[in-house]
Amino acid sequence: MKLTLSALIIFTINAAYANVQNAIFAQPITEQVTLLRSIDSSTNIGLIKTSQGVVLIDPMPGDEQLSRLRDTIQSLTYQKIPIRYVLNTHAHSDHTGGNAFFVRHGAVVNKPNNDIVLYKVRSHSSDDFVYYVSQSNVLFVGDVFDTSWHPTFYVGGVKGFTKAIDTILHIGNEQTIIVPGHGRIADKAQLREFQKNTLAWIGRVEALHAAGASTSKIATDPQILSLIEKFNNDKQKHFLPEKAFHRFIKRTVSVINNDKKY
């Protein structure tokens, strides 16, 4: 396997994942950007120093976790600097559940920031926002990309998904670090692989469905089994429970049928 420089950097950052404090993991990505994650939640939270103040992306729900998150943030390099701005990649509660907590502590939600470029796409939800921290060359892309689960292109369908990933691929350069909504940080090469595998998955489900195969039949197809394994980035032994696997096939079929209507 050829390791590109950015892949090597990402590997090093992921391997250096440490600094457990009050069950909050803090992973510095650059001097300006830190990735935070609570032990009770898989949501990737971004902490960014900007010229207008500290910005937090996607705080997860749970007051107790949020207090710990706040303590961790204050004990990091930011000291007692308050969180003034909260941004969300989309409206789902695992990404917005902490908004109210930070608003109570003086933050404003989804206010434009001079140091963060905003792109709007439509794939995982009807309003997916991608945030580019240009000074650090770091992108926060929410659940348009997930490195810990199967893809979830349910709102945008094939078109929305393709357009969303193409938009992200055009931002920054080959060294851009991509923070997915959940899972390990990645690079452009990994995102291209994700796009390719997702489209291959949809194509195979479509072919089997058109040939009259049921969900259970699709679930035993060797190509389908090898494609789903491509999303198992952490090589987990029990990656997708059967129920979730069948649901993913069914939802893919609905997306295909829905796409045909337009």
Q: Which is nearer to Zn ion, 152 or 195 (CB)?
A: 152
We find the least distance from the C-beta atom of residue 126 to Zn ion, in angstroms, to be 15
For residue 130, the minimal CB distance to Zn ion (Å) is 14
Residue 5 or 91 having the CB closest to Zn ion = 91
Residues contacting 194, CB < 8 A, separation 6+: 145, 147, 151, 165, 186, 231
Beta strand pairing call for 18-21 and 53-57: unpaired
In the complex, minimum distance from the CB of residue 92 to Zn ion, in angstroms, rounded to a whole number = 5
Closest CA to 29 of 21, 19, 38, 39: 19
Q: In sequence order, which residues have a C-beta less than 8 Å from that of residue 119 and are 6 or more positions away?
A: 129, 130, 131, 132, 167, 168, 171
Binding site for Zn ion (CB under 5 A): 94, 143, 181
- Asked if 181 and 143 count as a contact pair (C-beta separation under 8 A), the reply is yes
CA atoms within 13 A on the CB side of 242: 4
Within 10 angstroms of residue 108's Cβ, the number of other Cβ atoms is: 11
Query: Residue 206 or 231: which CB sits closer to Zn ion?
Result: 231
**Least distance between Zn ion and beta carbon 119 (Å):** 18
84 vs 184, which CB is nearer to Zn ion? 184
Structural tokens at position 125:
């939800």
In one letter, which amino acid is 217? K
In angstroms, give the least distance from the CB of 120 to Zn ion.
17
Q: What is the CB-side half-sphere exposure of residue 42 using CA atoms within 13 A?
A: 12
User: CB of residue 179 vs Zn ion: minimum separation in angstroms?
Assistant: 12
Nearer to Zn ion, 84 or 182 (CB): 182
Using the minimum distance from each CB to Zn ion, give the nearer residue, 90 or 209. 90
Strand 177-180 relative to strand 18-21: parallel, antiparallel, unpaired?
unpaired
